[in-house]
Amino acid sequence: MSEVTATMVKSLRDRTGAGMMDCKNALIEASGDEEQAVDIIQKKGLAKAAKKAGAVAAEGVVQSYIHPGNRIGVLVEINCQTDFVARNEEFRAFVDDVAMQIASMSPQFVRREDIPEDVKERQRGIFKGQLEEEEQKSGKKRPENAVDKIIDGKLNKWMTESCLLEQGFIHDDKKTVQQVLEELMAKIGEKIDVRRFTRYELGEGIEKAKKDLASEVAEALGN
């Protein structure tokens, strides 16, 4: 089997419009043969899903989810093209799963394009500070280009973990939420878009007053 290169993946993506990982997997399955890979993409309906990407999705649902114990709540808006699909059982099941995904995995953004540059730079600064701390403790200085690569890797991992669509799906972590979404698009035949969400956790952001035990005992005794 010939090696699957980035150029081959790009060529297949340009022809089909399918996702990068879908193109790579199709090429691997086809042993590097682009024509066979195109057939695989089409058979799986991934090209069809990609063509829907430019469509307007203005219908859909706003779904709520309250985790047992009432300590975590989620509101999520997921759009589709028609109200018919908005009532579809598989679509609604996907919406429910995404709401539970948000409650369980605490994503901060829908996709990495939503992450503001200042947030990424702040996170990059945190990782740089962590590496500097490690160097001080070990007494070993890393080359500057090595530091940049390590920080880039850490930032990429952080974005993957922070972005809902890049997280492993709660029911099958071998697939991302994005891949599950694309499979559903191919099956239903409409564009589906996770637009926005809000996650609430009881007590989040509230600073609780702290007292040391000795003070509490003294106060109780009236001292």
Beta-strand (E) ranges in 25-121? 59-66, 72-80
In the prediction, which pLDDT does 54 show? Answer: 61
Q: Are residues 95 and 73 in the same domain?
A: yes
Give the pLDDT means over successive 10-residue stretches in the chain (223 positions).
80 76 88 87 67 73 94 96 92 97 96 94 92 83 85 94 96 94 88 94 78 59 57
What pLDDT is stored for residue 148 in this prediction?
A: 87
Name the domain boundary from 15, 35, 52: 52
Task: Give the number of domains in the chain.
Answer: 3
The residue type of 218 is A
Residue 210 confidence (pLDDT): 60
| Whether pTM exceeds 0.75 | no
pLDDT computed for residue 46 by the predictor: 63
CATH number, residue 18: 1.10.8.10
Smallest CA-to-CA distance from 79 within 93, 96, 62, 65 is with 62
- 168 and 156 together in one domain: no
> 21 and 68: one domain?
no
| DSSP code, position 111 | S
pLDDT at 50: 59
Q: Any idea what the CATH number is for the domain that residue 68 is in?
A: 3.30.479.20
Statement to judge: residues 122 and 143 lie in one domain: yes
pLDDT of residue 212: 61
| CA proximity to 61, closest of 43, 38, 42, 86 | 86
Q: Which two tokens stand for residue 209?
A: 């007053």
Question: Which residue range is the domain that position 176 belongs to?
Answer: 55-112+163-201
Tokens of 136: 């001080």
Task: Please report the pLDDT score of residue 3 as a whole number.
Answer: 82
1 in a structural domain: no
149 shares its domain with 78: no
Q: Give domain status of residue 43, yes or no.
A: yes
* 107 lies in the same domain as 179: yes
Q: Residue 18: its pLDDT value, please?
A: 74
Cα separation, 68 vs 155, in Å, equals 33
